[in-house]
Amino acid sequence: MRLVEQPDSPYKELPDFLSVKNRDVKVHDYLRSIILSDAENYTNANEFLYRNSFMLKPLRHNPSAFTDEGNLVKQMRGLEEVNEQNWTKKIIADKIWEVIRAQGDEKHQSKKVFHYLRKALTGKEEGMRMYDIMEILGREECLNRLGAGQRKGVLGSLF
């Protein structure tokens, strides 16, 4: 918490980021949910920040980095159908697997879909479980990072 609260903190925008998500989330509770979701994967504060910095500020990418996934990009827009009240791990998982199954070859497609989501939502190759990430970030921020929300993010120029 001290890192977020210090005037020269690189994460001082976190409270603003949380308020933009249109959720009544306190900084302490938000950080606690990240810590608990990823606790088995880090041993100190530096590792925690390295692994989870994408959760502490808005993340927007260059859309051209994802243009080779055009069909997948459009199919993932199905996440827009899930409303805020239903934005839970189970329903998110069901919707993602609906996309995977629609493409056939589940083993190959699941790897492709999850890799795409991880890069689009986190900008990283590895990290905590995808459904945890999506539930903690919330619907609006996930859609924004995928370019489907009100503030276009990763994929907004592709549609």
The ranges assigned to domains in the chain are 2-158
Distance CA 125, CA 120 (A): 10
pLDDT of amino acid 62 = 47
Whether the per-residue pLDDT at 8 is higher than 90: the answer is no
Q: pLDDT for 60-100, tens place per residue?
A: 664 435 535 567 777 887 889 999 999 999 999 999 999 88
pLDDT of amino acid 88 = 96
pLDDT of amino acid 54 = 84
Q: pLDDT for 15-48, tens place per residue?
A: 566 655 545 567 778 888 888 898 888 888 888 8
Q: What ranges in the chain are assigned the alpha helix state H?
A: 2-5, 14-20, 27-38, 45-52, 70-75, 89-102, 106-122, 130-137, 139-145
Distance CA 109, CA 101 (A): 8
**Token digits of residue 153:** 């993010």
132 CB neighbour count, 10 Å cutoff:
17
Whether the per-residue pLDDT at 154 is higher than 50: the answer is no
Give the lowest-confidence range in 15-19, 84-88, 107-111, 123-127.
15-19
